[in-house]
Homo-oligomer: A and B are copies of this chain.
Amino acid sequence: MTENDAEHHKKKMQKRKELQTELVASKTETKGLVMVHTGTGKGKSTAAFGLLFRNLGYGRKCAVIQFIKAPEWQTGERKMAEHFPDLLQWHTLGDGFTWDTQNKEKDIASCAKAWEVALRFLQDEEVSLVILDELNIALRYDYIAMETVLEGLRQRPSMQHVVITGRNAKKELIEVADLVTDMNLVKHHFEAGVKAQKGVEF
């Protein structure tokens, strides 16, 4: 790198720094966020567990309520709850995929029960982060009413963060959300014949 290059780079970065400083200064609010992870790509629940990782690092109380997903499925993430008995509450309350249960009435009843548990945490000032895993699936099939969920979100403590995951997030939820990320599948190893593996998918 010539001296000229180095000088040019420095000047460019100084200008960029000014813009960044302005940008950061313009953001002043703090609040509990509603975060939605949707899309067909991998990373929706996984990024929610990353937020869990981050919050547990600060010693904050967190709760995970899993819709659809069944307690019979052994997952690495659930094993982690054993490491943080005082901070992390984990409730896996689904019955499995709709094509496994083949019973709509049972699916609806399970979602209602899971929502009841979710509400307990959504009303608890001490809980910093609530993950409602796969709730989008329950909402999509109208297994739980949108208005019920929106009401629960509205009435929660003002600094509590909530993450809602699952494909096909509904418009009404996107409207009230503070953050929406669409995890978009560019390339997936399933297409190349690789199967679901411990530590990757579960």
Contact B50 A45 (CB under 8 A): yes
Interface residues of A in 55-81 (CB under 8 A from B): 55-58, 60, 75-80
CA distance A196 to B188 in the complex (A): 31
* Contact of A199 (CB < 8 Å), options: B1, B77, B129, B177: B129
| Known contacts A27-B195, A184-B39, A194-B178; A48 and B51 CB within 8 A of each other | no
> Shortest Cβ distance from A126 into chain B, in angstroms?
14
A189 within 8 A of B: yes
> Shortest Cβ distance from A101 into chain B, in angstroms?
8
Residues of B within 8 A of A197 (CB): 30, 33
> Shortest Cβ distance from A146 into chain B, in angstroms?
18
Contact A189 B33 (CB under 8 A): yes
A29 within 8 A of B: yes
* Contact of A54 (CB < 8 Å), options: B77, B179, B182: B77
Contact A58 B198 (CB under 8 A): yes
Contact B51 A200 (CB under 8 A): yes
A104 within 8 A of B: yes
Total interface residues on A, CB under 8 Å, equals 83
CA distance A26 to B97 in the complex (A): 19
Residues of B within 8 A of A184 (CB): 39, 181-184
CA distance A83 to B35 in the complex (A): 27
Contact A98 B50 (CB under 8 A): no
> Shortest Cβ distance from A7 into chain B, in angstroms?
10
CA distance A77 to B76 in the complex (A): 18
A123 within 8 A of B: no
Give me 17 A-to-B residue pairs in the complex whose CB atoms sit less than 8 angstroms apart, sorted by A's number: A24-B195, A27-B193, A28-B193, A42-B47, A42-B179, A43-B47, A43-B50, A46-B51, A50-B52, A53-B76, A57-B75, A58-B76, A58-B79, A174-B187, A178-B189, A178-B194, A180-B187
Closest 4 CB pairs of A and B: A57-B76, A46-B50, A49-B50, A57-B79
A17-B102, A48-B50, A182-B186 given; name 8 further pairs at CB < 8 Å: A6-B103, A33-B189, A41-B182, A42-B179, A54-B76, A58-B76, A128-B199, A161-B200
